[in-house]
């Protein structure tokens, strides 16, 4: 929670948001525990300090996370390779964040590669949404292998739905 808060869009300056990226959602400890019960999140630590995390958000988590419910319900309607996403086995990246002093050291890729290692036998792909103004995050996701499949505006922000298809 601390790492997410330090990188929250709501507290960073516009300049920091552009140069460093930001987290778009906030999670309570109760919500994090519920999500963790469905599937543990993937973290990187330096000693006792969490310096990076990549949250596993299974579709079942939408029952107790209203923003995730809206996101998954909308994603399920999108067409990918000729059929709706709801016909595929996928999960959502709930959020990924790296502590500022550890960025550019390969931790982002390490976290995503661990996702692929642990979950690619159960799921065809991983999908997430990124605000289009978060250029740093978009570039980092593209570098890993994500592709934009849809862009939309929710009335507050413009978002890219991006997919990392492990079997294409």
Q: What is the pLDDT of residue 10?
A: 66
The topology under which CATH files domain 2-165 is Aminopeptidase (3.40.630)
Q: 82 and 137 in contact (C-beta within 8 Å)?
A: no
Where are the chain's structural domains?
2-165
Q: What is the pLDDT of residue 25?
A: 62
Q: What is the pLDDT of residue 12?
A: 59
Q: What is the pLDDT of residue 32?
A: 79
Q: What is the pTM of this model?
A: 0.84
Q: 71 and 92 in contact (C-beta within 8 Å)?
A: yes
pLDDT tens digits for the chain (168 residues)? 676 666 666 675 677 756 666 666 677 778 878 888 999 999 999 999 989 989 899 999 998 888 888 889 999 999 999 999 999 999 999 888 898 899 889 999 999 999 999 999 999 999 999 989 888 899 999 999 999 999 998 888 889 999 999 886
Q: What is the pLDDT of residue 157?
A: 81
Q: What is the pLDDT of residue 165?
A: 95
**Residues sharing a CB contact under 8 Å with residue 101, sequence separation 6 or more, in sequence order:** none
| DSSP assignment string, the chain | -HHHHHTBTTTS-HHHHHHH--B-----HHHHHHHHHHS--EEEEETTEEEEEEEEE-GGGGGS-HHHHHHHHHHTTSEETTEEGGGS-EEEEEEEEE-GGGTTSSHHHHHHHHHHHHHTTT-SEEEEEEETT-HHHHHHHHHHT-EEEEEEE-SS-EEEEEEEETT-
């Amino acid at each position: 929670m601390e790492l997410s808060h330090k990188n929250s869009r709501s507290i960073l300056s516009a300049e920091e948001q552009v140069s460093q990226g930001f987290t778009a959602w906030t999670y309570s400890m109760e919500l994090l525990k519920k999500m963790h019960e469905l599937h543990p999140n993937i973290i990187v630590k330096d000693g006792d300090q969490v310096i990076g995390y990549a949250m596993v958000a299974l579709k079942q988590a939408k029952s107790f996370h209203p923003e995730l419910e809206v996101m998954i319900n909308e994603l399920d309607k999108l067409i990918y390779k000729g059929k709706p996403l709801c016909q595929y086995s996928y999960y959502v990246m709930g959020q990924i964040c790296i502590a500022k002093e550890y960025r550019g050291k390969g931790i982002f890729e390490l976290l995503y590669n661990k996702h692929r290692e642990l979950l690619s036998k159960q799921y065809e792909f991983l999908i997430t949404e990124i605000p289009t103004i978060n250029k740093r995050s978009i570039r980092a996701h593209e570098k890993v292998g994500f592709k934009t499949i849809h862009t939309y505006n929710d009335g507050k922000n413009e978002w890219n739905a991006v997919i990392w298809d492990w079997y294409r």
